[in-house]
Chains A and B, each alone.
Chain A
C-alpha cells in the first residue's frame, strides 16, 4: 500500500500541473482567499487590541477587586480594608504588571459657577502611573505628587463646564465615615485630556488626603490590576479569588460589557468573512476540479479498466485537490505573513480618526503575527476545500471502465 501511495502522490502531483493555467487560477483563488482571511483577522485583532488598550489602560485595568456590595452600591459603607498579606502576595506575582489601590466614591464638585456630580478618586500616583494612562495625559499643570497630595486633577471638559482652571479652587463634597457630609476646598493642580466620559466622571486627588477628607483610616474601595498577557488573565482571576474569597474579583469583561460585546462581535465578524470567502473559494475549486475531471473521464475509465477500484480513483483525485489547495494555502500564508511583517511599523489610521470615534486614542494599529490563526484558518480552508473537492472526485470514481474500450478514437 505504501508503494501505491507513493505512485498516487507522484501521479496526483503531475496531474495537478497538466493544465497550468487552471491550476494557477485555483492557486490564486485559494491563496488570495486565505490571505484576506489572515490579514483581515490580524487587522481586526490589532484594532480590537488598540481600542481595548486605550479603554482599559485609561483607568479600568485588566480587572478590579472591590468589596462585595460596592459595584451595586458604591458608598462610604462599601469600602474595604487595604489588601492583607495573602492578597498582596497574589497581586505581586509576575503575571500582574501593576496594581493600584484606590478610594473611589461618589460626591459633588462645586466651582463659583456650577455644581456637578462626580466620582472622587483618591489614588497613589506612584502605582497609578504604572497602571493608568491618565497621569501621562496631563496637558496643563501637573499630576499628583504622592498619596498626601491634596491638590485635585480635573478633566479638561469638567474644567470647562465648571468654568474653573489651573490654580483655582474647587469644593468637593461627599458623605464621610461618620455619616455626615465632608466639604473641603481643593486647589486645581492639573488638567487631563482623555475622552469626555472619563473627564466628566472622575476627579483625582491623593489617596491619603482623600481618606482624611472622608474620616477614613486606610480603607480603599478598589484595586485595579494590569495583566499584559491575555492568556494569563483567567488563572490570575482564579488565584485572586482564592486569595480573597470575601471580595468581588472581576475581569474587564464584566467591568466593561460594551468592550466585551465589541470583542466577541469582532470575533464573529472574522468567521462571517471566513464563510463568505470560503463560499467563493468553494465555487472556484469545484468548478476547476469538475472541468479537470470531465476532461479526463476517459483516463479515469482507463485506470478503472486497469484494475483501480473506485475508491482508489477517488483517493487519487482527492490527493490532487489536497496538493492544489495545500499549495494555495502555503502561498496565502506566506503572503499574509509578509503583509503583516511589512506593516509591523503600524497602520496609521489618524487620517480616518474622525470616523473612528469608538476607537479611543488607538489611531495606529499594530497587526501581529498570530501563530494560532496561521494554523487554524489554513487548516480549516484546507480541510473544507478537500471536502468540497470530494464531489468532483466522486464523479471521477464513477467513470466507467467500459469507456476505455469505447470512444477510443
Chain B
C-alpha cells in the first residue's frame, strides 16, 4: 500500500520555557491510500494538532512530514498553501463556508484558486453537490442551510478538487446524532466508491463505528493503531 502521508518522529511544542506544552511527542504514522481512519483520544491529547501536521496547516517542531511524496520541511507559507490547495481537502467542525458565497460558489472557489476554467468549474461543482445529495440547494447561502447541509457542502468542497487526502476535525460535533450518522455514512460511501482517503478526528462513537482504522492518541503519543 502506498503512503499518502508519513509522519516520522513528529513532535510539536507550543510556547516557550515554563509555558511550553508538548502537544505531540515522537509520532510515527503512515496514512495509506484508501484509508478511512478515525483519530480519537481525550480532549487535549493532540488530535487537532496532529491533523494540522498531516494537512500542512502547521509544521512540526521536530520530525518530518511527507505528503504525497512531498516533504514539508523548509516550505514557505505560500508553498504550504499550494500543497493544501492541491493535495488536501478539509472539513472543519463549523464555519466551513464563506458566508457571502452560495453553496455552488463555495465549491467553485477552490477550483478557481486551482485555475480550473469556468465551464468545467461549474459542472464539477454541481456534480459534487449531487454527490452529497444537495443539488437542489446550489444557490443557497450558508445562512440559509441547516448545520448538516453546511457540513455536506463542506464535504463536497473537500472532494471536488480530487485531493490525495480529506481531513475532518470533529465534523459531527455540532450535529444531532441522526445528521451525524448521515454525514459519516456519506463520507464512508465516498471512501468506498472513490477510494478517497479520510482521516477524521472525533470523540463520536457513532463515527468510530464506521472506521476501518482506528488511531488512539494519549498525551501526544499514539496509544493504539488498529483495524476497526
Interface residues of A (CB under 8 A from B): 1, 3-4, 6-7, 10-11, 14-15, 18, 298-299, 302-312, 401-402, 404-406, 408-409
Contact = CB atoms under 8 A, between A and B. Distances in A.
30 contacts: A3-B115, A3-B117, A3-B121, A4-B115, A7-B108, A7-B109, A11-B100, A11-B109, A299-B99, A303-B98, A305-B57, A305-B90, A306-B84, A306-B85, A306-B109, A306-B110, A307-B84, A308-B81, A308-B113, A309-B82, A310-B78, A310-B81, A404-B95, A405-B48, A405-B51, A405-B57, A405-B92, A406-B48, A408-B169, A409-B173
B113 A299 contact: no
B112 interface: yes
B219 interface: no
B84 A401 contact: yes
Contacts of B92: 302, 305, 404-405, 408
B93 interface: yes
Contact of A3 (B52, B57, B93, B118): B118
A401 to B, nearest CB: 5
A408 B82 CA distance: 23
Contact of A311 (B78, B98, B99, B116): B78
B101 interface: yes
Given A302-B98, A307-B82, A309-B82, 18 more contacts: A3-B116, A3-B117, A4-B115, A7-B105, A11-B101, A11-B109, A18-B100, A299-B99, A302-B96, A306-B90, A306-B157, A307-B88, A308-B113, A401-B81, A402-B52, A402-B58, A408-B95, A409-B174
A15 B101 CA distance: 10
Contact of A14 (B82, B100, B116): B100
Contacts of B113: 4, 306-308, 312
B77 interface: yes
B98 A401 contact: no
A9 to B, nearest CB: 11
Given A3-B115, A306-B85, A298 B90 contact: no
Interface residues of B, number: 41
Contacts of B82: 307, 309
> B108, B113, B169 — which one has the most chain A CB atoms within 10 A of its CB?
B113
Contacts of A409: 93-94, 173-174
B35 interface: no
Contacts of A14: 100-101
A404 B115 CA distance: 23
Contacts of B110: 306-307
Nearest to B158: A306
Given A3-B116, A406-B48, A310 B85 contact: no
Contacts of A18: 99-100
Interface in B133-166: 157
B21 to A, nearest CB: 13
A337 B149 CA distance: 50
> A1, A312, A409 — which one has the most chain B CB atoms within 10 A of its CB?
A409
A307 B77 contact: no
B84 A310 contact: no
B115 A405 contact: no
Contact of A302 (B86, B95, B174): B95
Nearest to B111: A3
Contacts of A306: 84-85, 90, 109-110, 113, 157
Given A306-B85, A309-B78, A408 B112 contact: no
B169 A3 contact: no
A357 B125 CA distance: 73
B150 to A, nearest CB: 12
Interface string B175-205: 0000000000000000000000000000000
A7 B112 contact: yes
A15 B105 CA distance: 14
| Minimum-distance CB pairs A-B, first 4 | A307-B85, A408-B93, A14-B100, A307-B84
A4 B81 contact: no
Contacts of A11: 98, 100-101, 109
> B92, B96, B121 — which one has the most chain A CB atoms within 10 A of its CB?
B92
A58 B82 CA distance: 73
